[in-house]
Amino acid sequence: MKTNQSEEVTIDNYKPSFLKKVTQHKGASIGLFIILFFLITALFAPFFVNHDPGTIYENSLKVPPVWAAEGQTSFFLGTDDLGRDILSRLIYGSRISIFIGFFVVILSLTLGTLLGLISGYFGGTIDRVIMRVIDIIMSFPSILLAIVVVTLLGPGIKNAVFAVSIVSIPGFTRIVRSTVLVEKEKEYKAASEAFGASPFRTLFLEIFPNCLAPLIVQGSLSFSDAILNAAALSFLGLGAQPPIAEWGIMLSDAKPFIESAPWMATSPGVCILLLVLGFNLFGDGLRDILDPKLER
Amino acid sequence: MSKKLFIKFLDVIPTAIGISLIAFLLIRLIPGDPVMLLLGERGSDPIVYEKMKVSLGLDLPWYEQYWSFITKAFSGDFGTSIISKNSVWEEFKTLFPATLELGIVALFFALTIGIPLGIVAAIKRNSFLDYLFMTGSLVGYSMPIFWWGLILIIVFSVNLGLTPVSGRISVLYDIEPLTGFMLIDSLQKEVIEEEGFSAFISALKHLILPSIAMGTIPLAVIARMTRSSLLEVLKEDYIRTAKSKGLSPFYVICKHALRNALVPITTVIGLMFGSIITGAILTETIFSWPGIGKWILDAVNGRDYPVIQGGVLFIGFIVVTINLTVDILYSIINPKMR
């Protein structure tokens, strides 16, 4: 096999691949590592646990973690007040959090992008109406808005996803709109229209690809917000409902026992913090990589 | 400037109408019959049912209902709580100072620590301290505060026994609510004559943990903003001029750079109010702080719809007012906006 192509690469025209840039960026690679770690535990949860997350061991209530004096090796991070294995519940909990984050980002990204594209491209009255709605959504603190939605629809995972999605829409709409406003002044838009392309063709095939970079960054950052908000809703009793193994529920279960079993409260929070931190690091890193104008 | 501000002011009107519509619709979109929800078992009596329906105005067309909702709201009538039977407005008025006090102390905590951290990180750019502070601020920004609050309680209250776990002041003290701010009320003449400063110290101790929990995310945001906006300013020509005049670096930072760097920070602080309210709902739940965050959450759990409606309306309006104020302040501080 000839390797002509690789010989042509000189220092001047060498452009590292996207993946290479990510692995060279310290923050982004740490973030990606954390995300992959939780993704793997979520996907292969049954292979990592030695207990079913719902099984109640009546003889092993509130067993401390393995490094404590009374710890048992079979319950690595201890058990909760009902005698359920905390590590198994954490691993299964990563499924719920990643699932919620994923659906929230898909939903709010699709809706938010559409609104932003229309608003930025067409301007005028439709722009004003859309931006007013976005302003109204933004004038509610995220948890309060989610509470309103849950009040109307009732608590549960599906409704929590819906509530948190609404909260995340404005971020996408604003970022897409501002990109479109810049891009539509450029000449390629006029050229596309001069060729007789319909506004929708110009908008989706010519302008939209330029919004992708900021969208990916925003997607990663709203993934972290979604996980945080969904866990908060569950903690408040408005999101996922017990006995599902979910990090926010585990924390609210732990609250009455912070004196007798503090380990019940520590590990679920560490998981939330790590996963949220992972997405924030990854998003910040992507912003550095995709937008060279921003100097750190 | 005045024209721009006027437009901003006009922009608020549709937002305000939107918020009031959401609050109005909230009680009418609940699955089920609102009259039955408000009356409970007593609703099975058709006479009581009709009376309630008329008194709620639910027999009128929706635009008349909305109009009466608005006119009532302007005269201070936001309905009565189903559970406590008190006026929603009165309850809000007594609870809001508690949230405000907590918010102010939390913001104070965030500013006094966040700004210096940001300054040090900017001056010592790319040093170990810079990386340490910025990593720390990213962790703070990612913090689930409902967990952070529990950890603070475990460490400082349960293990070290330094601070109380819940409430605003020890039950030993009976403080007459004068301003609603416990820190001020505990310094009333009568209280000091009777108890000395112990009531004030008790109030202060109760404030420490909740305000750390609530102030952590704002602190992280402020530190990052201070760093990046100071770095931006330090690149400017007038900074180089000031340095080449032989002024001390400390003087240049404080007198020339910081003044301009702090302009964007004021905006961020104003816009952070929303996240502070979110923080209030979570923090007040954990620390049993008797403010509006806990009030609304209790209302949601107790299905106390008039209170939820009032809470949504008040908080929405407060956020809109604050955003407008920030816009006005920003154009006053920043001469470029004029």
Would you call B29 an interface residue with chain A, using a CB distance cutoff of 8 Å?
Answer: yes
What is this structure's pTM?
Answer: 0.86
pLDDT < 70 positions in chain A: 1-16, 292-296
State the pLDDT at residue B186.
76
Between chains, do B308 and A277 touch, taking CB under 8 Å as contact?
no
Would you call B173 an interface residue with chain A, using a CB distance cutoff of 8 Å?
Answer: no
Q: Do the Cβ atoms of A115 and A169 come closer than 8 Å?
A: yes
Would you call A139 an interface residue with chain B, using a CB distance cutoff of 8 Å?
Answer: yes
- Residue range B268-292, pLDDT digits in tens: 777 777 677 778 888 998 898 989 9
All residues of chain A having their beta carbon less than 8 Å from the beta carbon of residue B285 are 236
> Considering CB atoms only, which of A138, A144, A235 is closest to B315?
A144
ipTM above threshold 0.95: no
Dihedral over alpha carbons B132, B138, B142, B143 (to 10 degrees): 40
> Considering CB atoms only, which of A151, A237, A272 is closest to B147?
A272
Which chain B residue has its CA at the smallest distance from A138's CA? B274
> Is A62 within a domain?
yes
CA B127 to CA B120: how far, in whole Å?
10
For B291, left (φ over 0), alpha (ψ -120 to 50), or beta? beta
More reliable by pLDDT, B250 or B118: B118
Between chains, do B18 and A269 touch, taking CB under 8 Å as contact?
no
Would you call B326 an interface residue with chain A, using a CB distance cutoff of 8 Å?
Answer: no
Going B225 to B231 to B235 to B239, the CA torsion angle's sign is positive
Residue A79 carries which DSSP code?
Answer: B
The residue-averaged pLDDT of B199-204 equals 82
Would you call B139 an interface residue with chain A, using a CB distance cutoff of 8 Å?
Answer: yes
> Considering CB atoms only, which of B142, B277, B323 is closest to A276?
B142
At A27, the amino acid letter reads G
Q: Which helix (H) or strand (E) holds A112?
A: helix A86-122
CA A228 from centroid of its chain's CA atoms: 9
Would you call A269 an interface residue with chain B, using a CB distance cutoff of 8 Å?
Answer: yes
> Considering CB atoms only, which of A136, A150, A272 is closest to B144?
A272
CA of A277 vs chain B CAs: smallest distance (Å):
5
Between chains, do A258 and B153 touch, taking CB under 8 Å as contact?
yes
Total number of domains constituting chain A: 1
Residue environment code for B123-159, b if the CB has 16+ CB neighbours within 10 A, otherwise e: beeeeeebeebbeebbbbbbbbbbbbbbbbbbebbee
Between chains, do A265 and B296 touch, taking CB under 8 Å as contact?
no
All residues of chain B having their beta carbon less than 8 Å from the beta carbon of residue A266 are 151, 154
CA B337 to CA B263: how far, in whole Å?
12
Between chains, do A272 and B31 touch, taking CB under 8 Å as contact?
no
CA B86 to CA B70: how far, in whole Å?
20
On average, the pLDDT of chain B sits at 83
Confidence of residue B237 (pLDDT cuts 50, 70, 90): confident
Would you call A150 an interface residue with chain B, using a CB distance cutoff of 8 Å?
Answer: yes
Which chain B residue has its CA at the smallest distance from A276's CA? B142
State the pLDDT at residue A8.
53
> Is A267 within a domain?
yes
More reliable by pLDDT, B231 or B44: B231
> Considering CB atoms only, which of A144, A258, A259 is closest to B312?
A144
Which chain A residue has its CA at the smallest distance from B148's CA? A269
> Considering CB atoms only, which of B146, B147, B296 is closest to A147?
B296
State the pLDDT at residue B114.
93
Would you call A277 an interface residue with chain B, using a CB distance cutoff of 8 Å?
Answer: yes
* Omega of the bond leading into B249 within 30 degrees of 0 (cis): no
End-to-end CA distance of chain A: 42
Between chains, do B319 and A237 touch, taking CB under 8 Å as contact?
no
Q: What tokens were used for B52?
A: 């309630």
The residue-averaged pLDDT of B86-107 equals 90
Would you call B14 an interface residue with chain A, using a CB distance cutoff of 8 Å?
Answer: yes
> Considering CB atoms only, which of A141, A262, A280 is closest to B277?
A141
Among B104, B299, B127, B294, residue whose Cα is nearest residue B211: B104
All residues of chain A having their beta carbon less than 8 Å from the beta carbon of residue B22 are 136, 148
Would you call A30 an interface residue with chain B, using a CB distance cutoff of 8 Å?
Answer: no
Which chain A residue has its CA at the smallest distance from B154's CA? A258
Would you call A136 an interface residue with chain B, using a CB distance cutoff of 8 Å?
Answer: yes
All residues of chain A having their beta carbon less than 8 Å from the beta carbon of residue B275 are 141-142
Would you call B271 an interface residue with chain A, using a CB distance cutoff of 8 Å?
Answer: no
Q: Within 13 Å and on the Cβ side, how many CA atoms surround A89?
A: 29
Among B177, B181, B178, B156, residue whose Cα is nearest residue B103: B181
Query: Among A133, A148, A258, A288, which would you mutate to test the B interface (most chain B Cβ atoms within 10 Å of its Cβ)?
Result: A148
Share of chain B above pLDDT 90, in %: 17
> Is A42 within a domain?
yes
Helix intervals (H) in A123-255: 124-138, 142-153, 157-183, 187-194, 199-201, 212-235, 247-254
State the pLDDT at residue A3.
46
Coil, helix or strand at residue B87: strand
Query: Among B82, B142, B288, B307, which would you mutate to test the A interface (most chain A Cβ atoms within 10 Å of its Cβ)?
Result: B142
Would you call A155 an interface residue with chain B, using a CB distance cutoff of 8 Å?
Answer: no
> Considering CB atoms only, which of B146, B154, B275 is closest to A262?
B154
> Is A19 within a domain?
no
DSSP letter string, A26-75: HHHHHHHHHHHHHHHHHHTHHHH-SS-TT---TT-TTPPPTTSTT--TTS
The residue-averaged pLDDT of B104-123 equals 91
Range(s) of the domain holding residue A126? 29-294
How deeply is B208 buried, as exposed, middle or buried, from its count of CB atoms within 10 A (0-12, 13-18, 19+)?
Answer: middle
End-to-end CA distance of chain B: 5
How deeply is B85 buried, as exposed, middle or buried, from its count of CB atoms within 10 A (0-12, 13-18, 19+)?
Answer: exposed
- Residue range A49-72, pLDDT digits in tens: 888 888 888 787 888 887 877 777
State the pLDDT at residue A1.
43
CA B23 to CA B49: how far, in whole Å?
23
State the pLDDT at residue A113.
94
More reliable by pLDDT, B31 or B115: B115
CA A250 to CA A239: how far, in whole Å?
12
CATH number of the domain to which A252 belongs: 1.10.3720.10
Between chains, do A280 and B141 touch, taking CB under 8 Å as contact?
yes
